[in-house]
Amino acid sequence: MVVKENIGPHSGAAINALTFDQAYDLATQEPDRQYHTGGNSTPFTVQARITTKGEHRGSRVIVFRSDDQERARAYPCCWGAKTNCNSTHIEPYTPQMKR
């Protein structure tokens, strides 16, 4: 497993093909679709959910899963950044979501 440097929350800019709304809709419409990360082509799936606890309770979230484990999640406020609110790198996943 590759461990990326902690660059802080909402750091850097990711170039995403879709807006958060488009990506959330795609994840809702095609929940079983498989994507591959840009770096090492690791397969992952995406789930659209509503957060039930924590500071983002009630917010839409896109959850990225690989090997039956959650790897990262992106809220609307994180979209377009390399990292999410918790400094987890989401850029391996977000640009790969395309129609």
Domain positions in the chain are 35-96
What gap in Å lies between CA 91 and CA 36, rounded to an integer?
A: 12
* DSSP one-letter string for 8-54: -TT-S----SS-HHHHHHHHHH-TT--EE-TTT--EEEEEEEE--SS
Confidence of residue 15 (pLDDT cuts 50, 70, 90): very high
Q: What percent of the chain has pLDDT over 70?
A: 98
Angle at 62 between CA 95 and CA 26, to 5 degrees: 70
What gap in Å lies between CA 28 and CA 21, rounded to an integer?
A: 11
- Averaged pLDDT of the chain: 94
Instruction: Of 1-5, 17-21, 34-38, 81-85, give the lowest mean pLDDT range.
Output: 1-5
